Amino acid sequence: MLFKTITKSNFKKFVNNIIKENQTIGPVETDRNAKGEPIYQFEEISNFNEMAIDYTITYSSVKNFFLPFKENLSTFHFKDGTWNQKIEYTIHPRVIIGLRPYDINGLLKLDKVLMKGKFPYPYYVARRKNTFIIGIDNAPPKGCFAQSLGTDVALHGFDIFLTDIGNKYFMEINSSKAFNLLKNIKTNEVTDKDQKKYIEKKKQIESLYKNEVDVTGLPSLMDIEFESDVWKKWGDKCLSCGSCAMVCPTCYCYTVKENIDVSLNLASKERILYSCNLIDFAEVAGGHNFRPSAMSRLKYRYYHQYRGFVESYDEPKCVGCNRCGNACPTNIYPVAVIHDLRMENA
């Protein structure tokens, strides 16, 4: 890792140069909510000024640029008495700017399953390898409990990471690609004063985390509380809309849909992001549903986040962004559910 500083005006030039050559995505204010607060989303940009670089949190996570809601896996043509399969996808190099540490950590968790697991998902791998990531630190958004999960700091998983230290950024350079790109723009060596400001800024961000959840021994607690009334309490509120999983940076469950043309000569296979909260998620051929109640589906979503993933990867799947809580129409959010489980056990 290399450390440099870059003035804000030079960073702007750097980004505008990148935009000329690459598809570039950044946080953009797209709307206002009922309270008049801005709603942000990651979107393609054509100029630095379109970005809301000091945004709080995007409504959806950046996941959808790696796992689109819907994508074609293959197409089949029936010709000369046999089926011919065609698989094609084009991935262009691109840059995503402004990821917060918890979103970078979210991508690292997806990597474990979709890139480094037993069965890598080639579409994801291709997108991940062709994406240049520029992270930027900021104060935690309301409801965020990333600090409790250790995802408030990003140690890797990015090409460049910036921390605002006044009129310039302290810059962590983490790839040769980043090093080469930065050769075209003026950067400076880190001074003692910059270092001091950087440490102060990091401490300030750290102190702004107000939301906490105690995850000590959570997998065992969840085993003990498998039949707890807590699941009924929150399950009864759940509308099974699936919004929580759609906005979550680490939910990757999907379904596969097969389409057959009426001519019977053409067919396709589509991969569609799905949510374990949806009513038919665990329905199998013959109509049997292994998770018929909203309570059981909600419970298993939490078990995947805080128990199952820990068993496989020694860490929870959740990064504590609280997007699920923000998107939930009935105000179901992890801090409250986990707090209830702890109370039940106390």
User: Does the protein bind ligand SF4 through residue 168 (CB under 6 A)?
Assistant: no
Whether 221 and 235 have beta carbons less than 8 Å apart is answered as no
Is residue 238 near ligand SF4 by the rule CB under 6 A?
yes
Q: Which residues pair with 6 in a beta bridge?
A: 169
Tokens of 90: 């084009």
The answer to whether 330 contacts ligand SF4 (rule: CB under 6 A) is yes
By beta-carbon proximity to ligand SF4, the closer residue of 26 and 334 is 334
Cβ 208 to ligand SF4, closest distance in Å?
17
CA 23 to chain CA centroid, nearest Å: 19
Of 187 and 305, which CB lies nearer to ligand SF4 in the complex structure? 305
Other Cβ atoms less than 10 A from the Cβ of 155: the count is 13
Applying CB under 6 A, among 51, 97, 244, 273 the residue interacting with ligand SF4 is 244
C-alpha–C-alpha distance, residues 51 and 42, integer Å: 9
Buried b (16+ CB within 10 A) or exposed e, 260-280: eeeeeeebeeebebbbbbbee
- Strand 82-86: give its sheet, edge to edge: 82-86, 70-79, 266-273, 254-260
**What backbone torsions phi and psi does residue 56 show, to the nearest 5 degrees?**
-80, -70
- Residue from 321, 337, 338, 341 in contact with ligand SF4 (CB under 6 A): 321
Asked whether position 282 contacts ligand SF4 by CB under 6 A, the answer is: no
Residue 293 in contact with ligand SF4, rule: CB under 6 A: no
At 235, which helix (H) or strand (E)?
helix 229-235
* Amino acid residing at 178: A
Site string for ligand SF4, 248-277 (x = CB under 6 A): xxx--------------------------x
**Which residue do the tokens 């460049």 mark?**
160
List 318, 337, 338, 341, residue binding ligand SF4 (CB under 6 A): 318
Q: Is 319 in the site for ligand SF4 (CB under 6 A)?
A: yes
Stretch that binds ligand SF4, among 22-30, 51-59, 201-209, 246-254 (CB under 6 A): 246-254
Burial 190-219, CB ≥16 within 10 A → b, else e: beeebeebbeebeeebeeebebebebeebe
Query: In angstroms, what is the minimal distance from the CB of 332 to ligand SF4?
Result: 4
Assess 334 for contact with ligand SF4 (CB under 6 A): yes
Task: By CB under 6 A, name the one of 51, 324, 338, 341 that touches ligand SF4.
Answer: 324
Q: Which residue from 332, 337, 338, 341 is in contact with ligand SF4, where contact means CB under 6 A?
A: 332
Binding site residues, ligand SF4, CB under 6 A: 238-244, 247-250, 277, 298, 305, 318-324, 327-330, 332, 334
